[in-house]
Amino acid sequence: MAGLFDKQVDLYADARPTYPSQWYSMLADRTLHHSLAWDVGTGNGQAAIGVAEHYERVIGTDISEAQLKRAMDHPRVTYHHTPLPFNDNQIVSLIGEENSVDLITVAQAVHWFDLPKFYSTVTRLLRKPGGVIAVWCYNDITVSPEFDSVMKRFHDTTLPYWHPNIRHVFDGYKTLPFPFESVGLGCEGQPLALDIPKKLSCEMVLDMFRSWSAVVTARERGVELLGPSVVDELVTAWGGPNLVRSVTYKAFMRAGEVKM
């Protein structure tokens, strides 16, 4: 799925919210050791950098070379390009060895994976006992009743252009298969709901919308979902182009360990 984001890589990196540092602390509290972590679908490395505050070594991997070119440097983080096809044995050799990884994180990406294959690799790599896998996504922002209403109307126009896998994001990972034992951060059918606060300008929000794969796909099919009239309506509901507002991204997490 690298191609869905390569075309808008700059907008995608700039528009993503920053995951709160408390998330990494609560995950670190649930692993017995803090030697090695693997951030899968690392993109620009945002989650990998956060994880590195708690682990001696972090490996970030992504199938998108364009995303990795934007990855942030950190002395404890190493990035690797893992283009498809990249089989289980290659991944295990790249990351370390079986039963060696303390934490595996996937931020806003696991819904694109071949889940049975990925979970098989996770089971091989995670330390047993004491290793944890955590996956999370965000699927909406809340701003104000007026803006939220206009945003919903715009979002509804994007629905025909999303990849089918995005349904897991829309339902907050409730139906995402996740065959791991709960560690108290979400469970089967009931992900942990989390908020991500952020201050944004209207232009930053518009850039986020422009980075959506559905908006890019629609444009490639000759449909401009963010035309001038739509942008004007969003800007008016926001309160003007220069106003900076507090918004909340609605996020959802599932975390677990290998069932023994």
Whether residue 22 contacts residue 54, with contact meaning beta carbons closer than 8 Å, is answered with no
Q: For the residues 105-113, what does the mean pLDDT come to?
A: 95
The answer as to whether 77 is a domain residue is yes
Counted domains in the chain: 1
Is 79 part of a structural domain of the chain?
yes
Q: What is the pLDDT of residues 58-94, one digit of tens each?
A: 999 999 999 899 999 999 999 999 998 888 999 999 9
Q: How far is CA 171 from CA 130, 133, 149, 174, in A?
A: 29, 20, 19, 6
Domain that holds residue 115: 3-138+164-197+250-257
> Contact, 212 vs 167, CB < 8 A?
no
Instruction: Please indicate, yes or no, if residue 202 is contained in any of the structural domains.
Output: no
Single-letter code of the amino acid located at 93: S
User: Token pair 């209403």 is at which residue?
Assistant: 149
- Contact status, residue 2 vs residue 43, Cβ threshold 8 Å: no
pTM: 0.91
Q: Residue 34: inside a domain, yes or no?
A: yes
Mean pLDDT for the chain? 92
CATH number at residue 10: 3.40.50.150
Task: Give the Cβ contact number of residue 184 at 10 Å.
Answer: 11
For residue 38, the one-letter residue type is W
Q: Answer yes or no: is 98 within a domain.
A: yes
167-207: pLDDT as tens digits: 999 999 999 999 999 999 998 889 999 999 999 999 999 99
pLDDT tens digits for 5-31? 444 555 555 557 899 999 999 999 999
Copy the structure tokens of residue 19. Answer: 């995951």
